[in-house]
Structure 1
Amino acid sequence: MTSPAARFRALPLRSRLALLVTVAVAVAVAAVAGVSWVMVRAQLNDQLNRSLLSTQPDEQVVRTLREGCVTRLPVGPPNIAEELGPTVQIVTADGGRCLVGGRSDLPVSGADKAVAAGLADKSLHDATTADGTKMRVYTINKRLTNGGATFGVSIAKPLADIEQPLSTLAWVLLLVSGIGVVGAGAAGLWVARTGLRPVDELTGVVEHIARTEDLTVRIPDEGDDEIARLSRSFNSMTAALASSQERQAQLIADAGHELRTPLTSLRTNIELLARSEETGRAIPPEDRRELLASVKAQMTELASLIGDLQELSRPDAAPHAPLGVVALHDIAGTALSRARLRGPELRFSSELEPWYVRGEAAALERAVVNVLDNAVKFSPPGGAVEVSLRAGELTVRDHGPGIPPEDLPYVFERFWRSESARALPGSGLGLSIVARTAARSGGSAELRAAADGAGGTEAVLRIPGAPTPPPSADPRPQASVVPDQ
């Protein structure tokens, strides 16, 4: 069997809001009506009690009443009983009673006897007459001056004087509460419909995007309420998705363009070698060596491009291996040894101070290798490459042609290459990987013109860390796993 809570959750949000508003108003109205009724009843009871307590018969009236009861004669002028109240009764200590005025005798309670005997001055209580009338009874002790007799005088008024107004008030409050609850239900439904209209619009846009995959749709976000904030957040999300989709498409297009050139050249060289084998026309040894060297270089370029694409395709928050404390100076030294092999005609100088960072050793080595490869690629024959690591700032200085100032804002973009670099090998992804790796380690990367004005470029890699490893870290160099490019 389905529980009430489950059935409530199964209702549409609009119905749930309307129902909650109705219930909340109903509870509030019921509470106000109940408190009002209780306060009015207390006020009326208090007024009735004050009315009885204010009735104090004087000596002459009491004597007349007492004598009338003793002699069983009429009590005198009718206005004596009327002056005291609707019902007046004389009570003796032994429980005897004598009705002076009213429709029915009042029952004598123990409290009334105590008052008549002089044990108490007064008593105030409820009683029910023989005909079923509920009365509020006030009994006061009286003693005649001359005779010294002690007895009680009970004065009573019907509780119907307050019960009838209370009954009328209860019906009025019930009617008003019913009207209020119905009105609250209608108002709650209207408020739910009005308040959820922006949510309906948002739902329509989401369904449209899911159906058409059109991420250019925007939701109106006027105002500063929660719905407007939700709309702005959704617009930001769709804008980010559209930008990611555009970058993905651009990456595929650029990768296809970059792959086409080495593949075309590779296919041409292989076709020449295959035609030579098919026709039996031998290619001169020198030309054959050049073709094979070209095929090897193009395969190496393809492998490097595919590796760069794999690196860039990884999410920023998904490193290959867990981050750990690594020695950046050791990584720079390993990368520098590889750079010397790739530029044997260049002069390398280095000054590497100890610096320990938290990051992924393989990714950091790849980034440093890319920076050094750029320096090797753009250095003139016999040129110098200067490498320094001071306080977490790794600087690689070459003496090549430098980068035009107008090109500096684009150097870290994917597949971007300056006019002077397009004739050189490479895919334009190396510096993108450098910037990505630095950001993942909490640092930054920068390319700038050499500070001394002698030409060339400085590549600066800044990664936060410390000159000494933390006590729990292993200060030994990390093994390099960067493949040859």
Structure 2
Amino acid sequence: MTAPGLRVRLALISAAAVAVAIAAVSVLAWWATAGTMRGQIDGALTGPPLANRVERTGATVASPELLCRVPRAAVAALFRTDTGGMQLIRADGTSCTLSGSPAVPPTAADIAVAAGGPATRLRNTSTDTGVHVRAITYPVTGGYALMVWRDLTEMDATLRRLALWLLLAGGLGVGVALSAGWIVARTGLRPLDRLTDAAEHVAATRDLQVPIEVRGNDEVARLARAFNRMTAALELARQRQKQMIDDAGHELRTPMTSLRTNIELLVRSEDGARLAPADRRDLLASVSAQVQELSVLAGELTLLTHDEPAVEPVPLRLDEVAARAVRRASRRGRHPVVTDLQPWHVVGDPAALERAVLNLVDNAIKFSPPGSTVTVRLRGGRLDVADEGPGIPEDERGQVFERFWRSPAARALPGSGLGLAIVADVVAGHGGTVEVGSSAAGGATFTVRLPGHH
């Protein structure tokens, strides 16, 4: 069974809420009306005028039996009230009605009043003809009691008509509420329809350039803005991915072509024309270097495509991470690396941070003249890696952290153009910043700032 749609559910919920409210008001109105009408009848039956008159009449009438023989109008004049019906009850349990009124079968409590007990409480009962009445019994004189009652037929009919009208009004109200709820749900969910259409369009066509018009500041507007931001971020990510693939294909084209050419030369040398031993060694060294360059490029591309760190962030000391990176870099070159590392505690991925520092030190060594010094300094969460190389022109500093970007002076040197891009991604992932400037010796200084404490 298919669940009803959101519009139907909202309309049903609104109709149910209105139905509950109408039912509560209807019950309260019926109960208040019934109480008011019953109170008026009870006031007529138990009010001081009637009770006092019954007491005085019982004391002045020679024989209560006379009340059964006089006309109804005379009895009403005697008691100065028209309560509806009267009935004389004897102590032996027999009774007589006044002026031929219907009889109400007396109860033990009524007979006890005739025997000298106090007046009974008001009660609902029925006559011998089935008429619904409200009755009370008063003591008259020794051996007699007077039951006074009032017909409730008119009140019952009025309450039944009121209940019917309340029921009809409630049904009409629920119908109106259901229609209004459907209209409100249809109007209110129209922005969600546009959002749904946009999402289905994206799913069907993969076209992320489908901004939704936003109106107002309600929850639906917030959802639409979030959807627009999401599609914009996805479109940017897709463009960056496409650009990265294009750049990777461009960067791979040259080493792959060179590698294929060298391998073809080696194959031909095995088939016929022999290469000189020195030429063969140079060719094999070139192939090995190209394979190594491809391995480095593949590894760096893998690092850049990972959005999440390989391990959970842990507390660590950045100075110890930098020291390990410096020891690894020192084994790769012939440049002395001077360190001045003060303790600094951060939370992050130790392997990723070590790779970032290693890339900075390797970059400084690669662009430094032989015998020059590379300086690594860490103070107060600021890590500076400075070299004595040619430096980076100011007009190129905004591009050094872009993927595959290489300055014209560095195109002859080995590298993929991804090292500094990895540094920027790692630092940004740890909530820090990285920038490039000039060193005191005229070279380049890369400055990394990471949040932490001493």
Q: Same fold (TM over 0.5)?
A: yes
What is the match of residue 81 of structure 2? 84
Q: Which amino acid aligns with 1:206?
A: A
- Residues 1:129 and 1:339: Cα distance change in structure 2 (over 3 Å): closer
Alignment partners' CA distance in 2, 1:71 and 1:326: 110
Residue number among 8, 11, 35 corresponding to 1:15 in the alignment? 8
Q: Which residue does the alignment assign to 1:446?
A: 435
Call closer, same or farther: CA 1:223–1:76 in 2, change over 3 Å: closer
1:339 match: 329
CA contact (8 A) 2:89 2:111 kept: yes
SS of alignment partner, residue 215 of structure 1: coil
Residues of 2 paired with 1:72 and 1:204: CA distance? 88
SS at the partner of 1:105?
coil
Aligned mates of 2:18, 2:424 — CA distance in 1:
60
RMSD over equivalenced CA pairs, Å: 3.0
* 1:304 paired to 2:296: yes
Contact 2:132–2:151 (Cα < 8 Å) also in 1: yes
| 1:74–1:276 CA distance, 2 compared to 1 (3 A) | closer
1:279, CA displacement in angstroms? 6.2
User: Is the Cα contact below 8 Å between 1:393 and 1:461 reproduced in 2?
Assistant: yes
1:270: how far off?
4.2
- Unmatched 5+ stretches in structure 1: 1-6, 144-148, 468-485
Contact (CA 8 Å) 2:403, 2:421: kept in 1 or not?
yes
Match of 1:74 in 2: 70
Q: Which runs of 5+ in 2 are unaligned?
A: none
Residue 404 of structure 2 is matched in structure 1 by 415
In the TM superposition, what are the counterparts of 1:79-478 in structure 2 within 5 Å? 79-80=76-77, 83-85=80-82, 86-101=84-99, 103-143=101-141, 149=142, 151-272=144-265, 280=273, 282=275, 285=278, 290-315=282-307, 317-319=308-310, 321=311, 323-324=313-314, 328-344=318-334, 346-355=335-344, 357-450=346-439, 452=440, 454-464=441-451
Q: CA deviation at 1:282?
A: 4.7
Output the CA distance in 2 between the equivalents of 1:73 and 1:324.
109
**Structure 2 CA distance, aligned partners of 1:59 and 1:53?**
13
Query: Any conservation in 2 of the 1:61–1:80 contact (CA below 8 Å)?
Result: no
Distance in 2 separating the partners of 1:124 and 1:328: 93
2:397 is paired with a residue whose SS is helix
Matches of 1:271 and 1:342, distance apart in 2: 31
Q: What is the CA–CA distance in structure 1 between the aligned matches of 2:56 and 2:372, rounded to whole Å?
A: 137
Larger mean Cα displacement after TM superposition, 39-48 or 431-440:
431-440
Question: Equivalents in 2 of 1:280, 1:390: separation in Å?
Answer: 62
Secondary structure of 1:410's match?
Answer: coil
| Paired residue type of 2:296 | S
1:82 and 1:101 in contact (8 A); partners too = no
1:471 is aligned to none
> Partner letter of residue 333 of structure 1?
A
Deviation at 1:277, TM superposition (A): 5.9
Give the superposition deviation at 1:284. Answer: 8.9
What TM-score, normalized to structure 1? Answer: 0.82
What is the Cα deviation at residue 290 of structure 1?
4.8
Aligned partners of 1:336 and 1:372 also within 8 Å: yes
